[in-house]
Amino acid sequence: MDAGCQHSNSLKIDSEKSFEALKFFFENSSLIHEKNWLSNNKIDLVISDVASMPLKAASQLKLPSILIGNFTWHDIYSHLPQTKNQSILIQSLAEEYSHANVQILPQCHLDNKIIEHKREVGFLTNTGKNIRNRLEHHLGINSENKTLVFIYLGEHGTQSVTWENLESIKDCQFLTRDPIDHPAVTTIDEAFTYQDLIASSDIILTKGGYSTLSTAFANHKPVITCERNDFYEFEAIREYLQKREIGILINDRQFYQGDWQEHIKEALKLTVKNKVPLNGEIEISEIIRQMLS
């Protein structure tokens, strides 16, 4: 239901291709089709994360709508290169978002002047179980004296890191669910859930996406993340991590070179418990109940 962004690797956005995809989406999407679907299925409330068109469709049918997201695509596209040449697309996003009855802002959010009514809530979270003993048995390792680092970079660009440099960090065991083909990193299959792997690790090393951050903090784990200068959401994430002292930032060069040892030592000194609001999903369920009553 939206164009998202096109990536050149796990950290970089391809601005030109992103605007091409956004233009294609607006030219080929059908507001009438969405309105018909909402009507035919007797929908009472539209909740979006974070597509803009469903909000406009709901408004034209006089249905209430909620946008749940710490950013909008208008925020992101407005800060990409070539924005000045794409004012019509940017304005189209703003117009569609303006139809939301309320935007629910989880932690680490960007503010905007497009949507009038907003409600801030805690992180939307998934807690896991600490299964470290089971994990060690499965891997055939003893990590008692090692720091367990869970790596999540997503589907794009895992080949861009110099993984062999991690071999020099002897006091760490690196785990991932990403397709990283190097002996320095152990890839875990779906026998272990994403949430349990985070709950069982000491530190989470990630590209700084919302879902990973919220899951880490729900399980009281500090994070190490790299700068994402072209994705405007990271402005809010950077400020949040630094202000609350729950994460360490790495510059691009150090990140790609696997120069992580000192940052891992710094992250081990951080605490997360009781530093961030959680239970956003509980707050949201009450907002939804009120809107439907």
- Give the pLDDT confidence score for residue 19 in this predicted structure: 96
Q: 89 and 156: one domain? A: no
**How many Cα atoms within 13 Å fall on the side-chain side of residue 33?**
5
pLDDT band at 10 (very low <50, low <70, confident <90, very high): low
Residue 100 lies in a domain: yes
Residue 42 lies in a domain: yes
Residues 152-202 have pLDDT tens digits of 987 665 777 999 999 999 999 999 999 998 999 999 988 899 999 999 999
**Could you tell me the residue range of the domain that residue 102 belongs to?**
15-122+282-292
Residues of the chain with pLDDT > 90, as a percent, come to: 81
Domains held by the chain: number: 2
pTM above 0.85, yes or no: yes
Instruction: Name, in order, each residue with C-beta under 8 angstroms of 16's C-beta and a sequence gap of 6 or more.
Output: 82
Least confident of 5-14, 193-202, 222-231, 266-275: 5-14
Instruction: Name, in order, each residue with C-beta under 8 angstroms of 264's C-beta and a sequence gap of 6 or more.
Output: 147, 149, 169, 172, 203, 224
Q: 191 and 113: one domain? A: no
Residues of the chain with pLDDT > 70, as a percent, come to: 98
Q: What is the mean pLDDT of residues 199-219?
A: 94
Does the pLDDT of residue 21 top 80, yes or no? yes
d(CA 137, CA 131): 10
Does the pLDDT of residue 110 top 80, yes or no? yes
Residue 2 lies in a domain: no
- Give the pLDDT confidence score for residue 83 in this predicted structure: 85
Q: 138 and 46: one domain? A: no
Q: 216 and 136: one domain? A: yes
Q: 115 and 83: one domain? A: yes
Q: What is the mean pLDDT of residues 126-151?
A: 89
- Give the pLDDT confidence score for residue 141 in this predicted structure: 78
Nearest 5°: the CA angle 191, 216, 128 is: 40
d(CA 222, CA 272): 6
Q: 144 and 254: one domain? A: yes
Residue 173 lies in a domain: yes
* Of 139 and 262, more confident: 262
Q: 110 and 35: one domain? A: yes
CATH no. for residue 227?
3.40.50.2000
Residue 253 lies in a domain: yes
Crossing angle of the two packed helices 233-244 and 210-218, in degrees rounded to 10: 20
Residue 273 lies in a domain: no
Q: 36 and 70: one domain? A: yes
Does the pLDDT of residue 109 top 70, yes or no? yes
Residue 220 lies in a domain: yes
Residues 70-94 have pLDDT tens digits of 999 999 999 998 888 899 999 999 9
Q: 253 and 143: one domain? A: yes
Q: 103 and 165: one domain? A: no
Q: What is the mean pLDDT of residues 257-282?
A: 96
